Chains A and B, each alone.
Chain A
Amino acid sequence: MRRLSYLIGMMLLCSLLLTGCWSSKEIEERSVYVGMAVDLANKTTAEKQLESQGGGTQVQPLITATIQIVPLKSVGRGQQQAESGSIKKYLNVSETGNSIFEIMRNYSLKRDRAVIGHHLKVFVISTELAEKIELHKLLDFLLRDNDIRPSSMVFLSRGKAMDTLESDEPDEIPAFRIRDMVRNKFRNNKIYKEVILTNLDGYFHAKQSFILQNIAAADTGEIEFTGAGIIKGSTNKWIGDLDQENLSAISWIQGDSSGGLLKTVNDRNSIITYEILSGESKIIPKVDGERLSFHVDIKTEGRLIETWDAEETASKAFFLKEAEQKFEQKLETMLQNLMKKMQTEYKVEVAGFGDRLRITHPKVWKKVKDDWDDIFSRATVSFDISLKITDYGSSTE
């Protein structure tokens, strides 16, 4: 009996020793990537030749994925501080292939530290690629992977997506810059609300059209949010762009403009600017037999923040009334432009009308949801804007 218990004791000890640290890998031995950009790859001449001779079994166009790795390996502890003023803090690495996962694993062929996706913040897709490949294919790996968090934001880029992950400013990490820029929405309603992977999951399943924030990049390493790209639900491909003003109009329709401005010229051809303090909207769908119509009620209050018209006194009521009218006209034009783009140019609905219909008329929605984009392009939309200037800042003249 005693011998048995010794034996068991030994087994216990051995099993403790055997339990190595299976999943253990130090954090500094892995590379954290915080941004990722996918572009259409340029085929090399060799590949083109092979393809013309019947080789190259690539069904899909090739993808170049660029990841942004932070931080860099530091050279030495002492020098680190001295140099940190000038060097970049990130590293962009590109790799080409036709499966995102394959590309991710190919990084291991190139770099000593395995890349991990826990800290992926932004994912930028070039419209060139989004036009050719369905978005859900591009994003499938990101949605499935256990490392990548669904909180990652997705953007489109008119130019090369990898350029948006560059910055000339020292000590700046471009991926973080994009992430933090989205938070500026409260200052400017030309920024579309953040779209995260979870949202896309829903859009894909519902086959719903949606828009993604567009990013433009300059050679100097500067970037700008320039409107949005439209992804059509039925194909999941990019079909066109909305400009900044369209985007602002979408914010108005969705009642999402809590900050930003409205700029127009008055009768005397002077610029006047309205600062949005609050913006609410109500979409009221009306179903009349087969005919669908929507009425959008927009209510906003704000401040006259800038006027180039030296003649007028802001404290005078009629001046404010006139300005209000001008702003309302401007807003109306913006909205009509947007409707034109949605209903006639692209034949998609990305402003949330469908969602409203789903809530108010679930039965109707069931019938129309499969070809909603088409049905919406035939619907009539009317707007009712009530804009109120509540104050004129700290200057009365």
Chain B
Amino acid sequence: MFTRSDDKITSTQASIFLTDSVLGAGILTMPRAVVVAGETPDVWLSVLLGGLIVMVLIVVMVKLSQQFPEKTVFQYAGIVIGKVPAFILCWLLIIFFITIAGFEVRVLAEVTLFFLLEGTPMWATMIPFIWVSGYLLFGGLNATVRLFQLILPVSLFVLIVSYLLSIRIFEVDNLLPVLGDGLLPVFKGLKATVLIFAGFEVVMFLVAHMQHPEKAIKAMIAGISVPLAIYFFTIIFVIGGMSIDAILRSTWPTIDLLRSFEVAGLFFERLEFPFLVIWMMQLFCNFTCYFFGASLGISQLLRIKFRPVIFAMMPIIYLASVIPQDINDLFALGDIIGWSGIILFCLIPLPLSIIWLIRRKGLRQDA
């Protein structure tokens, strides 16, 4: 077939979708959240551990989704637990996606207004952002993921380069001693690190869109590994460059890290410029993922066309984003999102898998 009519994506594209849906505001807020929870330089271990835990959760979700080829969670939940409970659970998931989308766009607005555009009304940054995202979504999943593919390598490159240039203020002493306080703070930090991977729930509808769902596990693990690696580098470089104590006093530690040194002689001696640019693009992808997830959920649940749903979602997401009244509310919302991600996992894929396993066993015994 020369022109494709189905909106399927390749395994690489699915990985990138997952990467983009996890890698978002966390780059900026994660170091502080994790260090506050752990209060030890070892929190990078927590990040790794958290990533591993999330990988396990993802495998569970992929396995579940693979039982229902071509079906998203919004479609197969009904098969497993009946229409009404599934309806409620799916709505919870949709609300979750909407909240994350609102959160991301709000974080974007906060950072933009603080560092770049002091004095601009907040709606003026959020609304065009939502518009462009909606415009992209009109092209369907395929075009959306193509944009992700375009942006992600550039983002990763710029991120890594910015971090590597911060080596001039990097001090290994800040990362030592390893496990000086034992493992306990590491587990305390874990609480925060699992939260930064919130959003991996997209797996439940992503597998259905894959050309080769049988390769889903590999693709999804690869997809979550990239944000894991990036978060790992972030925490290492931020702690190394700033020390735990400075992070605890900083609202946006990652930006402060990049603002703490100047590369004389480069055309942009200030690395927060390229960093903020690619971070915004990354956040755009991140936001679009949830925008897509929420719209897809509603369109499949209520059986309406995709495009009108995009229009309907725009004001809803906007309203969701203006709910936090100040920056503390915003960070609190971030925590709530992290927790509800875990709760949702316990509410949807876990029981669904168990019920499905029991029912299948039951069927086998009957036969």
List residues of chain A with CB under 8 Å of any chain B CB: 19, 22-23, 143, 146, 149-151, 196-199, 201-206, 208, 355, 358-360, 362-363, 365-366
Contact B117 A358 (CB under 8 A): no
Known: A151-B260, A360-B177, A362-B180. A146 touches B245 (CB 8 A): no
B242 partner, pick from A202, A360, A365, A366, beta carbons under 8 A: A202
**B256 contacts the other chain (CB 8 A):** yes
Which of A22, A151, A198 has the most C-beta atoms of chain B within 10 angstroms of its own C-beta? A198
The answer to whether B246 touches A205 (Cβ under 8 A) is: yes
Q: Which chain A residues lie closer than 8 Å to B176 at the CB level?
A: 359
Report the separation of the CA atoms of residues A146 and B244 in the bound assembly, to the nearest whole angstrom.
Answer: 21
- Give chain B nearest CB distance to A240 CB in angstroms: 24
Given A205-B249, A358-B177, A359-B176, CB of A22 within 8 Å of CB of B117: yes
Q: Are the CB atoms of B180 and A22 closer together than 8 Å?
A: no
Q: How far is the CA of A360 from the CA of B178 in the complex (A)?
A: 10
Q: Is B82 an interface residue (CB 8 A)?
A: no
Stretch with Cβ within 8 A of A (4 or more), from B22-30, B90-98, B118-126, B204-212: B118-126
Q: Tell whether, in the assembled complex, residue B120 and residue A22 are in contact, meaning their CB atoms are under 8 Å apart.
A: yes
CB of B70 within 8 Å of the partner chain: no
From A19, A149, A205, B124 is in contact (CB under 8 Å) with: A19
Q: How far is the CB of A232 from chain B (nearest CB, A)?
A: 17
Q: What 0/1 pattern do residues 238 to 270 of B give for CB contact below 8 A with A?
A: 000111111011100000110111100000001
Chain A proximity of B300: nearest CB distance (Å)? 29
Determine whether the beta carbon of B260 is less than 8 Å from that of A23. no
Which of B121, B177, B262 is in CB contact (< 8 Å) with A359? B177
Which chain B residues have a beta carbon within 8 Å of chain A's beta carbons? 114-121, 124, 169, 173, 176-177, 180-181, 241-246, 248-250, 256-257, 259-262, 270
* Contacts A22-B119, A22-B124, A206-B245 given; does A362 touch B259 at CB 8 Å: no
Contact residue among B119, B173, B249, B257 (Cβ-Cβ distance under 8 Å from A204): B249
Query: Which residues does chain B contribute within 8 Å of A203, judged by CB atoms?
Result: 245
Return the 3 tightest CB-CB contacts between A and B, nearest first: A362-B180, A205-B245, A202-B246
Contacts of A146 in B (CB 8 A): 114-115, 118
Question: Which residues from chain A contact B116 at a C-beta distance below 8 Å?
Answer: 23
Q: Is the CB of A201 within 8 A of B120?
A: no
- CB neighbours of A359 from chain B (8 A): 173, 176-177, 180
> Contact at A355–B173, with CB atoms within 8 Å?
yes
- Kindly report which residue of chain A lies nearest to residue B179, judged by CB atoms: A362
Q: Is the CB of A150 within 8 A of B177?
A: no
Closest CB of chain A to B367's CB: distance in Å? 58
Interchain Cβ contacts under 8 Å between A and B, 15 examples: A23-B120, A143-B249, A146-B118, A150-B260, A151-B259, A196-B169, A196-B261, A197-B260, A198-B242, A198-B257, A202-B242, A202-B243, A206-B245, A358-B177, A366-B181
Q: Which of A22, A23, A201, A365 contacts B245 (CB 8 A)?
A: A201
Q: A199-B246, A202-B245 are in contact. List 20 more A-B contacts (CB 8 A).
A: A19-B124, A22-B119, A23-B117, A149-B260, A149-B262, A151-B260, A196-B169, A197-B260, A198-B169, A198-B246, A198-B260, A201-B250, A202-B242, A206-B245, A208-B245, A359-B173, A362-B177, A363-B180, A365-B180, A366-B181
Q: Which residue of B lies closest to A197 (CB)?
A: B260
Contacts of A199 in B (CB 8 A): 243, 246
- Structural contact, A22 and B256, CB atoms closer than 8 A: no
Q: A201 to B249, Cβ gap below 8 A?
A: yes
Closest to B269 in A: A151
A371 CB → nearest B CB, Å: 17
A355→B261 CA distance, assembly (Å) = 23
CB distance from A92 to the nearest CB of B (A): 23
Among B118, B120, B256, which residue has its beta carbon within 8 angstroms of that of A150? Answer: B256
Contact: B259 with A150, CB < 8 Å? Answer: yes
Specify which chain B residues have a CB less than 8 angstroms from the CB of A23 in the assembled complex.
116-120
Docked Cα-Cα span, A198 to B253, in Å, equals 10
Closest to A204 in B: B249
